[in-house]
Amino acid sequence: MLQIKYHHDSLGKSILEKDYLRAAYEVDEIKEITEKIEQLHITNDKLQKPFAIFYDKYLQSPLNVLADAAAKKDDASLKTNFQSLTSNCNSCHQENNMPFMKIQ
């Protein structure tokens, strides 16, 4: 999860800097990390359900929209969906009894 947070933070910075190539890269990195988590069945005893369920519920849609927005250089969509991604991360942490893991 620390790798995801690193790329989340880098994505936020790239959106502020209007660095669309970097934004696309960071979204892709988050997707790759989540794919590896699923493929390797990496788990955490604090998760209430398998990671794949949370990926589908919270990450898949905003990541796909962010990838599309970066390709289109759509600042408004990048900003809005980055906020959605951040909110979804925090919702997942809340659902898994880890509200103290707040992403800014």
Q: What is the structure's pLDDT at 43? A: 67
On whether the pTM is more than 0.85, the answer is yes
Residues 73-95: tens digit of each pLDDT: 999 999 999 999 999 999 999 99
- How long is the chain? 104
Q: What is the structure's pLDDT at 41? A: 67
Encoding tokens for residue 67? Answer: 């990838």
Average pLDDT value over all residues in the chain:
92
Q: Where are the domains of the chain?
A: 2-95
d(CA 89, CA 103): 7
Residues 37-84: tens digit of each pLDDT: 888 766 677 778 888 888 999 999 999 999 999 999 999 999 999 999
Q: What is the structure's pLDDT at 45? A: 73
